[in-house]
Amino acid sequence: MIDFRIITLKALATGIFALGVTLLISVTFVPMMGGKLAGAGLIMTIICPLASAIPMSALHYWNTARLRLARKEAAEARDELAVAYEQLRMSSRLDPLTGILNRATFMDELEKASLGQKSGGLLFFDLDYFKTLNDTYGHATGDAALRRVGQLVSRMSADDDIAGRIGGEEFAMFLPFLKRQDITEAAEKIRIAIANLKVTTTDGDKIGLSASFGVAYCETGFDPSRMLQVADANMYSAKRQGRNLAVS
């Protein structure tokens, strides 16, 4: 907001300064040229600098204030645009229901991990009897279950881990630098945590969840698509063996 009171005070100060300079020059040089500073000449010496300096300086200070305000608004708009862009970029990377990476972004990050010569454990898991859950309790309860699992996965992920919803009730995680012998144990921790979740249905009932895990070890330079197929096959093996298992 432009403060016109400040502009007015600054314009008056400029006018008084201009009057002082004009009077000083006139008092100094008019007598030297044989003139006398009095009467109409004195009046004009006073009126002219005030009449010109005050409105011109007021216009200058007003334009300066407008320019400063415009720059401030432009800077704020730029900052808001940067925030909006970052939010849009993040929203395009995330699955809107679970809050973890969507399939496309997960595959991109998995590809980067491979190109970065990272090794580690790949976990592919699927919620058990999810279609039955949807059919019995409704899609709102199914969405709540997916949301709870997404929150759990996010909470249990380390900074370098990659976690995403691959589609439907399927999730995947890549745990870099994890040793081959530790992968099944890591999957078991997440499997048990999911088995301990309780989801409240629209009727107020609480139901439990479980998930079947397929585990694969990724050597450096691994093929993301092929390793995901391996983990997927192991997950279906867990389904055939009775579900709520981790198979490597």
User: Whole-angstrom distance between the N-terminal and C-terminal Cα of the chain?
Assistant: 66
Q: Which residues contact 52 (CB under 8 A, 6 or more apart)?
A: 18
Q: Which of the residues are catalytic? A: 169
Residue 171: name the closest of 130, 200, 135 by CA.
130
Q: Do residues 239 and 130 make contact, with C-beta atoms less than 8 angstroms apart?
A: no
The two structure tokens encoding residue 131: 């279609």
Distance CA 215, CA 238 (A): 10
Q: Do residues 235 and 151 make contact, with C-beta atoms less than 8 angstroms apart?
A: no
Distance CA 135, CA 119 (A): 40
